[in-house]
Chain A
Amino acid sequence: MIRLEARPEPSRTFKWASPLIAVTATVAIGFALFPAMGKNPFDAFHAFFVKPLDSLYGVGELLLKASPLMMIATGLAAGYRANVWNIGAEGQLTLGAIAGGGVALALHGVDSPLVLPLMMAAGVAGGVAWAAIPAWLRTRFNANEILTSLMLVYVATLTLSLLVHDAWRDPEGFNFPQSKLFSESAILPNMLEATRLHWGFLLALAVVAAGWVFMQMSYVGYQMRVAGLAPAAAHYAGISAPRTVWLGMLIGGGCAGLAGVGEIAGPIGQLQPSVSPGYGFAAIIVAFVGRLHPVGIVFASLLMSLLYLGGESAQLNLALPSAVTGLFQGTLLFFLLAADVFIHYRLRGAKRVTRAAVAASDPARKMSGV
């Protein structure tokens, strides 16, 4: 019989090997799955992972889609480390888009370099405000933030739908539920010729860098980590639990709100009933696959972005449904969580450990903790 046995110290190797194992296993599943759907697995692999990147435009798309993912995931990671489970980033992104879009529409035709910063400030404020609701409900009423933040996703989406169907609908838009196209001053400038990549990408990198400094080096970041790992120890050390919840939620909300502005001021250029293909949820996966660490998150967001592009490419080239993207995202996260067990445990067969081996391996700990 094989059983799990706790490691004396968590394995650093497996902490970073586990995402690689998960990616490999997901690809392997894909290879098994494509023939079942009557596709040559190598063609599918090519369509999924190579084709999207065989042009500069493709690389631009990769970075374009990775930007909101890494921005949101960094914000969420700050919360997750503190055991604050904000899963409503999709809603906070939507509110950010609404607030930023509201500014863009209000200043329509105003040609000033201040328009974009104002939109961003509004977007961050919108995301923060939306995240403040679950934070308040949790600190004031002890209500589970997982459920409340998720419920607010539906409310946010419906609010956006309400606006573009009614108050903010473009009167000259042939009755389509969408706002006016933003003016030039409300659009993020292009960064790379012949692609759609805009300056939001650098903004995303800046957010990740700020997240790195905050999480890895600051004292507040340390305190939030303590609160996540051992709430009683945080209490003992005088670290305020409500402050942790507020910070964890608001940082996530602000990042998601900013990402929302990046979408509407970037590729979309107006408000539509849907401003995100589920970036807020995919970013949860990105945060975990990136080990809740900013550097890991950058890589994980590129991978997740590739999954989006691959899904689109598979649809075009292989007539595969793009829903396969969601399937792979979920599978990847499953494999990651499963592989993570080896960080804290190792496998042991039924084979008995000899006493000599134990004594030789660690005489100092021989007497500890029976």
Chain B
Amino acid sequence: MDTFAQLVILTLAAGTPLVFAALGELVTEKSGVLNLGVEGMMLVGAVVAFMVAATSGSPWLGILAGMGAGAATSLIFGAITLSLLANQVATGLALSLFGIGLSAFVGLDFVSVVIAGITPLSIGGLSDLPVVGQLVFGHNPLVYLSFALFALVQWFLYRSRGGLVLRAVGESPQSAHAIGYPVIAIRYAAVLFGGACAGLAGAYLSVAYTPLWVEGMVAGRGWIALALVVFATWKPWRVLAGAYLFGGVTLAQFQVQALGVAIPSQYLSMLPYLATIVVLAMISRDAVAIRLNAPASLGRPFHPAA
């Protein structure tokens, strides 16, 4: 097979969970809510999706269940931060720790289970076309879903009235409340969307990408997704670019080993984390860009003191 096409396919496949999770978190943050629990929600999504896929035999049912599980865990976060006004940073950390514990606990019996995951498309004829065949038609169906999600988020945020309201709530919940928008309800919706996307990201990992369940298998991708949102200065297309960049970095690890270079695997495993740190520092130093693009109320609780 064409190595270039293969490289593109692998990069997109590695970047896709980051696309799902980061786009979801971006929508949540646009409403002014910082949910640091992405890692936990992804793990819960991954384990539930895998369990449902294994028991029902339907990976697609697993994907749906993973999204539902991600949304359900985000609802805990929403209840504590939006209804009970707790500190979003602390609650997000709690959600991550909780998700790690919960997924390890419920997934124990599924550790060495084998399932039939969702495999890349193979459309008779089309996928075999030279050059473009693999590039255009050879991806996992969920990769196409991530493109659709990107288009949806982009359209929603900048072309729809609902997106305008969401951005307004993130910019100034006080003003939005004063002119009559239900700030808390809108933020709940944004948190749930972020949770479902994180669940989908986890489900993709356990049901399509690997497909198997291992404790802690998300391996920091949730945190990288959070960093990606900052890297993207809250713009969906930059999330996409960043996710594939990181997908590529993750791949380097396998590529270098495939080339037979004698370098301990740990160095290569460090790369995505080091890259995240470097990229975060480079973007964050532009305080003006952050100030202009970050939702002004990000992380601050809102209580309609009426």
Direct contact of A and B (CB under 8 A): yes
Min C-beta distance of A219 to chain B, whole Å: 26
**A6 to B93 CA separation, bound complex (whole angstroms):** 25
User: C-beta contact mask, B241-276 vs A, less than 8 Å → 1, else 0?
Assistant: 000000000000000000000001011011001101
Q: Which residues from chain A contact B65 at a C-beta distance below 8 Å?
A: none
CB neighbours (8 Å) of B305 from chain A are 6
Cβ 8 A contact of B93, one of A4, A144, A284, A324: A284
Q: Does A162 contact B (CB under 8 A)?
A: yes
Instruction: Known A4-B85, A334-B80; judge A143-B97 contact (CB<8 A).
Output: no
- Chain A: minimal CB distance from B18 (Å): 14
B189 CB, min distance to chain A CBs, angstroms: 20
Stretch of A7-15, A148-156, A195-203, A240-248 lying at the B interface: A148-156
A155 touches B273 (CB 8 A): yes
Q: Which A residues are CB-close (under 8 A) to B303?
A: 4, 6, 345
Docked CA distance A33–B108 (Å)? 16
- Contact between A327 and B274, CB atoms less than 8 A apart: no
Interchain CB contact under 8 A, A143 and B93:
no
Pair A329/B97 contact, Cβ less than 8 Å: yes
Query: A residues 183-218 with Cβ under 8 Å of B?
Result: none
Q: Nearest Cβ in chain A — how far from B63, in angstroms?
A: 24
Interface membership of B90, Cβ < 8 A: yes
Inter-subunit contact A147/B104 (CB<8 Å): no
Interface size on A, residues (CB 8 A): 47
Which residues of chain A come closer than 8 Å to B269, judged between CB atoms? 154, 158
Q: For A23, what are the chain B residues with a Cβ–Cβ distance below 8 Å?
A: none
Mask, A125-145, CB within 8 Å of B = 1, is 000000001000100111110
B22 to chain A, nearest CB (A): 13
Chain A CB within 8 A of B102 CB: yes
Which residues of A have CB within 8 Å of B80? Answer: 334, 337-338
Cβ–Cβ contact A143 & B280, under 8 A: yes
Asked, given contacts A144-B230, A151-B220, whether A340 binds B105 with beta carbons under 8 Å apart, the answer is: no
Q: Within 8 Å CB of A329, what residues of B?
A: 97-98, 101
Q: Is the CB of A141 within 8 A of B285?
A: yes
Among residues 83 to 137 in chain A, which have CB atoms less than 8 Å away from a CB atom of chain B? 85, 87, 133, 137
Taken residue by residue from 90 to 125, chain B's Cβ proximity to chain A (1 for < 8 Å, 0 otherwise) reads as 110111011111101100100000000000000000
A316 to chain B, nearest CB (A): 16
Cα–Cα distance between A140 and B93 once the two chains are bound (Å): 25
Contact (Cβ within 8 A) B105 A281: no
Q: Residue among B100, B101, B282 with the most chain A CB within 10 A?
A: B101
Q: Is the CB of B281 within 8 A of A137?
A: yes
Task: Please give the distance in Å from B253's CB to the nearest CB on chain A.
Answer: 12
Contacts of B79 in A (CB 8 A): 338
Chain A residues, CB < 8 A from B105: 321, 323-324, 326-327
Is there contact, CB below 8 Å, between A165 and B264? yes
With A326-B101, A338-B80 already in contact, the answer to whether A148 and B94 are too (CB < 8 A) is no
Cross-chain contact A330 with B281 (CB below 8 angstroms): no
Q: Are B97 and A144 in contact (CB under 8 A)?
A: no
Residues in A neighbouring B100, C-beta threshold 8 A = 326, 330
Nearest neighbor of B226 in chain A, beta-carbon distance? A147
Interface of A is mostly: helix
In whole angstroms, what is the CA distance A147 to B278 when docked?
11
The answer to whether B267 and A162 touch across the interface, beta carbons within 8 angstroms, is yes
B277 in the interface (beta carbon within 8 A): yes
In the complex, whether A285 has a CB less than 8 A from a CB of chain B is yes
Q: Which residues of B contact A281 (CB under 8 A)?
A: 97
Minimum Cβ distance to chain A for residue B184 (Å) = 11
Report the nearest B residue to A161, measured CB to CB.
B266
Chain A residues within 8 Å of B89, by CB: 85, 146
CB distance from B231 to the nearest CB of A (A): 10
A330 touches B227 (CB 8 A): no
Query: Across the interface, do B104 and A141 meet the contact criterion of CB distance under 8 Å?
Result: no
By the criterion CB–CB under 8 Å, are A337 and B270 in contact? no
In chain A, what residue has the closest Cβ to B286? A142
In the complex, whether A43 has a CB less than 8 A from a CB of chain B is no
A329 to B96, CA, bound (A): 11
> Within the complex, which residue of A144, A284, A323 is in contact with B284, where a contact is CB–CB below 8 Å?
A144
Contact A158 B97 (CB under 8 A): no
Given contacts A143-B280, A331-B98, contact A154 B85 (CB under 8 A): no
In the complex the two chains form, is A337's CB within 8 Å of B91's CB?
Answer: yes
Q: Is B86 an interface residue (CB 8 A)?
A: yes
B76 at interface (Cβ–Cβ under 8 A)? yes
> Known contacts A141-B285, A321-B108; is A148 also within 8 Å of B277 by CB?
yes
Find the B residue at minimum CB distance from A345. Answer: B85
Q: B87 at interface (Cβ–Cβ under 8 A)?
A: yes
Structural contact, B108 and A323, CB atoms closer than 8 A = yes
Q: Which 7 A-B pairs have the closest CB atoms?
A: A326-B101, A330-B98, A323-B104, A327-B101, A333-B94, A141-B281, A341-B84
